[in-house]
A and B are shown apart, each in its own frame.
Chain A
Amino acid sequence: MSMSDSGSQSIAITVTVNGEPHHLRVAPNTLLVTLLREHLGLTGTHVGCDTSQCGACTIHLDGAAVKSCAVLAVQADNCEVLTIEGLGSIDNLHPMQQAFRDCHALQCGFCTPGMIMQAVDLAQQSSDLDADTIRQGIEGNLCRCTGYQNIVEAVAKGASMMAGTNTLAHEA
């Protein structure tokens, strides 16, 4: 159940999304995830549970991974947002995206954007991640296919690729 946009008067906000500033008017009860998906057409950020449990809507807000279904759009005023679309491109994947591809760290793929955004946050805290740390680190992201084994491998590989210590990994 998502809150509708039928609130009272709209509020003017400025949000920088994937490096591009947007001046928008939003209803006060608009969620950040709704702003991204429905106002800006960035549908890579998914709505899974809409109760801040599954993490499919994870984005970076001022550099930190947060669940965008639990943030109001107006709370992102004057903030920087990074979504999966801003992380890499088809021709130039981010190392974490490349690692997910190399390790086949997805089954249906629904949780993948949120998993990758959280994995990047985790890798920014430490490049040397053991399996336990990764499993604890992604506890706010649910994979309903239960494909965690390859996800854990991908996060470890992506973290080391981000640190530049394993740049040849996907050629091996």
Chain B
Amino acid sequence: MYVSGGMTLIPSMKQRLAAPSDLIDLSSLPELEGIEQLNDAQDSMLRVGGLTRHNEVAGNVLIQRHLPVLGQVAAAIGDNQVRNRGTLGGSIANADPAADLPAALLAMKASVNTQDRQISADEFFLDLFETALDAGDIVVSVDFSTPQQAAYEKFRHPASGYAVVGVLVACFADGVRVGVTGAGPCAFRACALEDALNQQFLPQAVDAVAIPDAGFNSDIHASAEYRAHLIKVLTKRAVASLLS
């Protein structure tokens, strides 16, 4: 098994939730580092190396200029010590249902680059801690499209810092995308909300949309019904902040 920042894997090993026979540390691979701008005919894109630490994402000048919302998402992860160590590639490969970055990948039309293939974010997150990565795959980098504007709203668990629910609304020339984390077994796009916001980009457009809570997470922190409710509330807040 690979380890990058180890901010989930090492605590999981200590709790005996993971017991890999061998660990391969990716931290000395320069190919996994760096943030660069890509020239694409359609959208402006940013490529972020898989080994990029969350605090590097949050403080990077290119990201602040072209994709500030990704910096805000990274700055909302865990605490400072975790952000100094945890990596973008590690977080998405782990695919915690309450992690922040998966919502950003989905809303920002991201593609995940491994050693030999490219996986669209829409096909990357499959289930609880399950992604389209195969054994041996490494997240080399992630390509993000830069939206015209975007906002991330998170209902943060006060102790853990994880998203009880997080919603990222991104506006592109060809439509609105809504990435949701924390609510289901893995992050997903709320297509019904996207349709409503494409009709009318106003907070009240969210009111008429039904968000069924079937299959949503339900635990001591929040019921499935409450999480479904939070999706709408946070989407409205994100839209309102983009209109203000």
The 8 Å CB contact of B14, one of A2, A137, A139, is: A2
A55 and B81 form a contact (CB under 8 A): yes
- Inter-chain contacts of B161 with A (CB < 8 A): 139
Give Cα distance in the complex from A61 to B55, angstroms: 14
A64 x B84 contact (CB < 8 A)? yes
Number of A positions contacting B (CB below 8 A):
27
| Candidates B14, B23, B80; contact of A118 at CB < 8 Å | B80
Question: Which chain B residues lie closer than 8 Å to A29 at the CB level?
Answer: 13
Is A143's beta carbon under 8 Å from chain B? no
Contacts of A72 in B (CB 8 A): 3, 6, 10, 23
B79 adjacent to chain A (CB < 8 Å)? yes
The reply to whether B81 and A50 contact each other, CB–CB distance below 8 Å, is no
For window 5-47 of B, CB contacts with A under 8 Å fall at 6-7, 10-11, 13-15, 23, 25, 27
B14, A140: Cβ atoms closer than 8 Å: no
Query: Which size bracket describes the interface of B in this complex?
Result: 20 to 34
B126 sits at the interface (CB 8 A): no
In the complex, chain A residues 125-141 whose Cβ is within 8 Å of any chain B Cβ: 137, 139-140
**Residues of chain A in range 1-30 having any CB-CB distance to chain B below 8 Å:** 1-3, 28-29
Question: In this assembly, does B82 line the interface, its C-beta being within 8 Å of a C-beta of chain A?
Answer: yes
Say yes or no: B84 contacts A55, CB within 8 Å: no
Additional 15 contacts, C-beta under 8 A, given A52-B11, A140-B82: A3-B14, A31-B10, A51-B11, A55-B81, A61-B84, A65-B80, A70-B10, A70-B11, A71-B6, A75-B3, A75-B6, A75-B25, A118-B80, A139-B80, A140-B78
